[in-house]
Amino acid sequence: MRYCIGVDMGGTATKIGLFTEEGTLLSKTEIPTRVALGLDTMFTDIAESVKGLCAQNNISLEDCAVGMGVAGPVDRNGYVEGLVNLNMYNLYPARELSKRLGDIPVAIGNDANMAALGELWLGGGRNCSSMLFVTLGTGVGGGIILDGKIWGGSNGAGGELGHMIVNPEEAEIVKIIFQKFVNGGMGTQSISNYLNQHGYEKKKNRKHELNYFSRGLIKNILDNPVYIGKIAYGKSKTEKVKGTRD
């Protein structure tokens, strides 16, 4: 019999659960995430806790695979540019954990995306094909599911809801874009034509910037559905968010 181990690596605590392949929880534990002691200590703590959980339930580690969620965007290759809450940058977390567990399979994704998939599978989203999932922990996160699949956007950050300024007027336009795309069956060119013909104007932040909606802009907004307002429309300056690296 095969088993699954879920690891939620949070900024304050790391939660670990042992499951059957059908999703039945067999056992769980929680350990502090010792951020101040660095990468090696954090991943070693997790590996030792996973081994202990398996031993307590008389389960061989070789019969397990791990699914891991981390608080940051994850690209298709498992690369993470930055985990701000953990003060870790430019790493492959799944590789770090796998090599401490005898190279058993470890899959990784954004923690809120993983939670959203869990809710879709066995939780509140079981009867839904599309849903928005919001997490409130050390930080704010989100997972977007469209037609049964995670919508990660062009760089894995599509569901990142935290650290963002929302312009209500521009957010309303993004809402219209998604309504036309999802419910109206319109493509990017048709949506841009609709907005331009109905008097909607793109906010102009730079001197030579166009103030109408192009097909490319519509595509970028659809690729990053929560990057609305200043982020989706372009901004003339950056803004430092307290507690972040950049």
Higher pLDDT: 100 or 214? It is 100
Q: How many other CB atoms are there within 10 angstroms of residue 60's CB atom?
A: 9
Give residue 206's pLDDT.
54
> Whole-angstrom Cα distance, residue 18 to residue 4?
6
Mean pLDDT of 28-40: 95
Mean pLDDT of 173-188: 88
Q: How many other CB atoms are there within 10 angstroms of residue 11's CB atom?
A: 16
pLDDT at 3 over 60: yes
Give residue 163's pLDDT.
57
pLDDT at 244 over 60: no
Q: H helices then E strands: how many in the chain?
A: 7, 10
Helices (H), the chain: 39-56, 93-98, 111-122, 168-178, 188-197, 215-223, 230-233
DSSP state letter for 221: H
Give residue 222's pLDDT.
82
pLDDT tens for 86-138 read 989 999 999 999 999 999 999 999 998 999 999 999 998 998 999 999 887 66
Helices (H), 90-244: 93-98, 111-122, 168-178, 188-197, 215-223, 230-233
